[in-house]
C-alpha cells in the first residue's frame, strides 16, 4: 500500500489524502538524500548581522481548531512583524482563480477522460460529498481527487487563511512567495495518465483517509520536523519511481528555491514573518538548510545567536 500527503492550494486549503501525490502543507519533503536533522519546533529565527530578525513558521493547511491554537511565542513574533509572507495570498481573486482552474476545457468531459467504469465509481463518491454527476463531469482528474480528499470543514479558516486575515486586520504588509499559476502548474503539468493513477489510488484508500489525516495532524502538533520528514519518506515509497521523482522535484525542490528567492528581500529588511507548509522546512533541500547556505543563522527562538 502507498501513502502520501496531499496539500492543495487555497480553494481546498489543506487536503490530506492517501495517494501518490503530495503538494502545496503539508507539501511533502521528499528527497533522495538522507534527512538532514533539524530538530523539533515549527518556529525558527532567521538572522544576519545588523538586520532585525525574521521568523519562519511551519503551517498545516487545514481547518482544525487544534492547529490554530498558536503558542504565545508564535503570536508574539507575528505581532512584532512588519511583513507577513505566505505561499499565496488566499484572497477572493485567488479563490475564484482556483475554482476556474479546476475545470476541464469546454469541449472535454471527465467521463471521456476516465472511462465510464472509473467515472461511475468516482461520481458515486463525489455525490456523497455534495457534488452532482453533472458537476463532476467538468472537473479535471486532479480536481476530482482534491474534492474526494477534502477534510470536513469546521466552519472556519485554515491556519494560513487565519494568518492572512490577522495580517490584514493588523495592517501588515503582505507578500506572496508564489503565484497562483505556479502552484496550479504543479497539478496541470501532470499527464492525464498520472492524474488518473493518483485518483484511482485515492479511491482505493478512502476508508483510511480520516485515520491518516488525524495521524498527520498529531505529528504536526508535536512539531517534530525530523519525524515529519521521515514520515513523508515512509509514506511515499511508490512503485512508480519516475512519477515519485517528478513529483518530488516539482512539489518541493523547485518551490523551495522559488520561495527562498522571493523571501530574501524581506529578510534583508528584517521583521518578516514567513509562514509556509511545515514540510518545506526540513530536509537537505528544505528552507532551513537553504537559508543556512545563504549565510543566515537559523535557530529556534530561545537559542542564543552564534558569534559573527
pLDDT of residue 303: 77
pLDDT of residue 17: 34
| CA distances for 112 relative to 144, 153, 187, 204, 271, angstroms | 14, 31, 19, 21, 52
Angle, vertex CA 161, rays to CA 159 and CA 165, nearest 5: 120
Ranges in the chain, pLDDT < 50 = 1-36
Q: Residue 284 contacts by C-beta under 8 Å, 6 or more apart in sequence?
A: 31, 33, 34, 35, 36
Under 8 Å between Cβ of 203 and 195: no
SS3 (DSSP) at 273:
strand
pLDDT of residue 308: 57
pLDDT of residue 6: 36
pLDDT of residue 28: 30
> Which among 184, 97, 189, 193 is positioned nearest to 146, based on CA atoms?
184
Rounded CA-CA distance 304/5 in Å is: 34
> Which among 158, 125, 151, 145 is positioned nearest to 214, based on CA atoms?
151
Rounded CA-CA distance 178/217 in Å is: 25
pLDDT of residue 14: 36
pLDDT of residue 142: 94
pLDDT of residue 287: 96
pLDDT of residue 194: 87
Tell if the pTM clears 0.75, that is, is over it: yes
Amino acid at each position: 500500500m502507498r501513502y502520501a500527503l496531499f496539500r492543495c492550494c487555497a480553494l481546498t486549503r489543506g487536503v490530506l489524502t492517501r495517494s501518490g501525490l503530495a503538494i502545496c502543507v503539508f507539501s511533502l519533503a521528499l528527497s533522495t538524500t538522507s534527512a538532514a536533522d533539524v530538530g523539533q519546533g515549527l518556529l525558527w529565527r532567521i538572522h544576519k548581522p545588523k538586520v532585525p530578525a525574521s521568523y519562519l513558521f511551519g503551517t498545516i493547511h487545514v481547518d482544525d481548531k487544534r492547529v490554530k491554537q498558536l503558542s504565545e511565542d508564535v503570536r508574539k513574533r507575528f505581532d512584532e512583524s512588519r511583513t507577513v509572507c505566505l505561499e499565496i495570498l488566499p484572497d477572493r481573486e485567488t479563490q475564484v482563480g482556483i475554482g476556474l482552474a479546476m475545470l476541464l476545457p469546454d469541449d472535454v468531459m471527465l467521463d471521456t477522460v476516465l472511462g465510464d467504469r472509473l467515472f461511475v465509481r468516482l461520481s458515486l463518491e463525489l455525490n456523497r460529498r455534495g457534488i452532482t454527476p453533472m458537476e463532476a463531469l467538468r472537473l479535471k482528474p486532479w480536481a476530482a481527487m482534491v474534492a474526494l480528499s477534502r477534510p470536513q470543514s469546521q466552519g472556519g479558516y485554515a491556519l494560513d487563511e487565519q494568518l492572512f486575515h490577522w495580517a490584514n486586520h493588523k495592517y501588515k504588509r503582505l507578500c506572496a512567495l508564489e503565484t497562483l499559476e505556479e502552484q496550479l502548474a504543479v497539478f496541470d503539468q501532470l499527464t492525464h495518465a498520472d492524474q488518473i493513477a493518483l485518483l484511482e489510488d485515492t479511491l482505493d484508500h478512502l476508508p483510511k483517509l480520516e485515520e491518516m489525516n488525524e495521524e498527520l495532524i498529531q505529528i504536526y502538533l508535536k512539531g517534530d520536523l525530523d519525524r515529519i520528514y521521515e514520515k513523508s519518506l515512509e509514506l511515499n515509497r511508490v512503485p512508480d519511481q519516475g512519477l515519485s521523482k517528478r513529483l518530488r522535484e516539482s512539489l518541493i525542490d523547485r518551490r523551495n528555491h522559488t520561495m527562498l528567492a522571493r523571501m530574501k528581500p524581506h529578510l534583508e529588511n528584517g521583521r518578516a514573518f514567513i509562514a509556509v507548509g511545515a514540510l518545506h522546512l526540513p530536509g537537505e533541500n528544505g528552507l532551513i538548510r537553504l537559508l543556512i547556505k545563504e549565510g543566515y543563522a537559523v535557530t529556534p527562538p530561545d537559542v542564543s545567536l552564534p558569534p559573527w
